[in-house]
Structure 1
Amino acid sequence: MAEWWGSYTAFQQVMFIIASTATIIMIIFLILMLFGIHGEEFDGADVSSFDHDLSGDDLDASGQGDLFNDEPLSAFSGLRLLTLRGILAFLSVGGWVALLMNTSAGIFWSIFVGILSGATASFLLALAFKQAMRLESVGNVQYVNAIGKKGSVYIKIPANFAGKGKINLTLQERFVEVDAMTNDESDLKPGTSVIVTGLKDETTLIVKKDS
């Protein structure tokens, strides 16, 4: 083992540690999800407050666009790139690619290709989860049934109906992600427990902080 490890350069050792650690954590998350333990506790960390929506236009001050607009780039609106899940994908794929590249290329090109590969993996993972959550939240889901239920803030909800955020909750035996607004005097930050009090429109819930 020591001989194998010693055959790596310092750069390769760093890439191996980063990639293997991120991969192990991702596998743990996957196992938890398979057992029905969802990842909103992890993605609900402060890093999610930096999430950006990739809509074509109509971005508000919080960086969130209209998830259901008809613009050409609407398929990518609401795409969460800077979640813990996305960062782990970036570090895992980027680290392994940089490590493999460095066996035949210099450090600069290894880092460049690693960053490009990691960013692509993070984007594709975010897109896949967005589409999966959308499939869960459409169909025969009746949002009126969410009234009175508790959920957890995923993307910050601005105070006084100033904009939309998102919450995660279990609705009709499905774990769904739904747009939400609040009339509370202060913003509802990621991870905050909330209760649904009504509907703003057909697909947007009104919530308040769960006291």
Structure 2
Amino acid sequence: MFDWWESLSTLQRIFGLVAVPSTIVMILQTILVVVGFGDVDADVDGDVSDASLSDSSDGLALVSVRGIVAFFAIGGWTGIVMAHFQIHTFFVVLISVIAGFLALLFVAYMLKLTTKLQSKGNIEYKNAVGKFAKVYITIPADGRLGKVNLTLQGRFAECDAVTQDGETLKTGQTVVVNGLIDSNTLIVSLPEANNENQEK
């Protein structure tokens, strides 16, 4: 390792001082994602992205923690390699910046793609309206919360629920979803009661 460092030119060492720490951070980020702590870094990315340079047409956030790390890591290693060919310093720096920017774009695109996939996987509770569900935790008649189970968007879901019919819904009863009182709390009733309301 020391022999390799000693063999580098001054310009290569400058790039190395950028590339090596950035690469270590990139490796640590990858390890954190693999072991399940990637959300922490994702939260930081989200905070930075709020004030980031973005493409208004597709919402591509160019500035994020991961993107900046990739910029310096890829740009730094590119600089080390290009300086080996003893081309003019200006072109070494230019090519390194271009390579780093391409890496930044790639990371921004991957983060955007990941966000889209996550949003598609989120449950839209409005899609539950009209579906049947099973009462899991008794839903009191006084408007307090209970819980129901149902299949929503192809997967099993457990949802908060209330009833407005003045009748307690007990565990195991089949109910129908009539609407929502907020973004994730369902309004349910017995199917017979729902039919009576529709007839009225």
* TM-score > 0.5, shorter chain as reference: yes
- Asked if the contact 1:86–1:123 (Cα under 8 Å) also holds between the matched residues in 2, the reply is yes
Q: How is 1:42-191 mapped onto 2 (pairs within 5 angstroms)?
A: 42-44=44-46, 47-56=48-57, 77-104=58-85, 105-139=87-121, 141-142=123-124
What count of residue pairs does the alignment treat as equivalent?
Answer: 129
Query: CA separation of 1:44/1:17 partners in 2, compared to 1, >3 Å: closer, same or farther?
Result: same
Q: Which runs of 5+ in 1 are unaligned?
A: 57-76, 146-171, 173-197, 200-211
RMSD between aligned alpha carbons?
Answer: 2.7
Q: Which runs of 5+ in 2 are unaligned?
A: 128-154, 156-181, 184-200
Cα shift readout 1:108-133 (whole Å, capped 9, x = no counterpart): 11110000011011101110121122
Percent pairwise identity: 32
Tell me how far apart the structure 2 counterparts of residues 143 and 82 of structure 1 sit (CA, whole Å): 33
- Asked if the contact 2:63–2:108 (Cα under 8 Å) also holds between the matched residues in 1, the reply is no
| 1:7 Cα offset (Å) | 2.0
Q: What is aligned with 1:12?
A: 12
Tell me how far apart the structure 2 counterparts of residues 29 and 116 of structure 1 sit (CA, whole Å): 23
Tell me how far apart the structure 2 counterparts of residues 102 and 17 of structure 1 sit (CA, whole Å): 14
Query: CA separation of 1:115/1:143 partners in 2, compared to 1, >3 Å: closer, same or farther?
Result: farther
Tell me how far apart the structure 2 counterparts of residues 44 and 129 of structure 1 sit (CA, whole Å): 10
| 1:50 Cα offset (Å) | 3.0
Query: CA separation of 1:7/1:143 partners in 2, compared to 1, >3 Å: closer, same or farther?
Result: farther
Which has the higher relative contact order, 1 or 2, with Cα contacts under 8 A spaced 6 or more apart? 1
Cα shift readout 1:145-200 (whole Å, capped 9, x = no counterpart): 9xxxxxxxxxxxxxxxxxxxxxxxxxx9xxxxxxxxxxxxxxxxxxxxxxxxx66x
Q: Given the two structures, how large is their TM-score scaled by the length of structure 1?
A: 0.54
- Asked if the contact 1:19–1:91 (Cα under 8 Å) also holds between the matched residues in 2, the reply is yes
Q: Given the two structures, how large is their TM-score scaled by the length of structure 2?
A: 0.57
Query: CA separation of 1:25/1:2 partners in 2, compared to 1, >3 Å: closer, same or farther?
Result: closer
